[in-house]
Every structure is written in structure tokens, then in C-alpha cells.
Amino acid sequence: MLMLPIVPLTKAGFAPFGEVVETADVRPRLINEGFANRFNDLADIDVAADGGEVNISLFVGSVRPSPIAIKMMERHPLGSQLFMPLHDAPWLVVVCTDPAVASSYRAFAAACWQGVNYARNCWHHPLLVTAEASPFFVVDRKGPGDNLEEVWLGEDRWMSLEPERAQGEAR
């Protein structure tokens, strides 16, 4: 089984797959009589294809056994999908450009303040967390059409991750 290296999540490294959602390089706008900062335009929500609408939901992730076996990938052909953690633990992101090509896979360690917005049609693994009962704010598409495609990998193409390597690596 191929072991995927886990690298810190950065805007440049993740750009081919979507957007990193964070406030690091965003200038806030002072609102609410000066008692709050507003960070606008953190992600491009792309859900309008075929009459889709914005869907706001909460996911709560469970820890998978280690090493994590990467056995399937999914994508959403009709819209983007944004995950923003609501917890204080790092989490993992696995993406690829082609599920059949092992060299196209990337694994990222995301910090608790970093979200991702998977671009429309971006192949990604379902939610991977390093702490039990990790909640995420999710913005994606609802509406007509089939917005989920899954590819199950043959056992000879499974990959694995060691989440312990990601602990503390996210910046």
C-alpha cells in the first residue's frame, strides 16, 4: 500500500484543487460600532449549475483507524463544497486530479483555523479528522441533478495516511 506524504496546507499548494479558507492575508472591515471584524470574500461558492442553491449544514466527523486507508474518492460535478472546522484540532485533506493515477494524489495537514473550498469537479476524500466528534460548517449545493460521483479504488491501488504525522505540522 502506497503511503501518501502529508504536507502543511497552503493556498499555493492547494490552488489546483480549490481554495484555502483562512483570514491570514485578508484585510478585515471593522463593523458593529467597532466591536467586530468582518472578513469578506473568503471563498467562491459555485453552486448555481442546473438550478442549484446554497446549502448550509453541519458535519460532525469521527476518527478513522490509523493508518487511514484511502479506498475511494468523490467529486461534485455541479458545485463547490466548503468545509470550515469549528474545533481546535488539525484535520486532513486528500485530493487528486485523477483517481486512477497514484502520482496525482496530495495529502494536506490543515490547521484548525483553515478551511477548504473544493472546486467543482475536484476529486477529494470524504472528511478526515484527527479528533473525535469534530464539527464542520459546510457550504455546498442542494437542488436538482446528481451532484455526487464516487470512485472506489481496487485493493491494489489503496493508499494510506498516518494522521500522527500531521499532528502539529499544520501552520
DSSP notation for 94-143: EEES-TT-GGGEEEEEEPTT-EEEEPTT-EE-S-EESSTTEEEEEEEEES
Q: Which residue has the higher pLDDT, 146 or 164?
A: 146
**Model confidence over 85-108: pLDDT tens digits?**
999 999 999 999 999 999 999 999
pLDDT for position 170:
43
Write the CATH number of the domain with boundaries 2-165: 2.60.120.480
pLDDT for position 168:
44
Report how far Cα 53 is from the mean position of its chain's Cα atoms. Answer: 20
pLDDT greater than 70 at residue 171: no
Length of the chain: 171
- Give CA–CA dist 118/137, Å, rounded: 14
Q: Which residue has the higher pLDDT, 100 or 164?
A: 100
* Domain extent listing, the chain: 2-165
Report how far Cα 171 is from the mean position of its chain's Cα atoms. Answer: 16
pLDDT for position 151:
98
pLDDT for position 46:
97
**Model confidence over 106-121: pLDDT tens digits?**
999 999 999 999 999 9
pLDDT for position 165:
63
- Give CA–CA dist 139/116, Å, rounded: 10
- The pLDDT-based confidence of 166 (bands split at 50, 70, 90) is low
C-alpha cell at 54: 446554497
CA proximity to 110, closest of 5, 2, 8, 6 = 8
pLDDT for position 113:
97
Mean pLDDT, the chain, integer: 94
Q: In one letter, which amino acid is 58?
A: L
DSSP state at residue 150: E
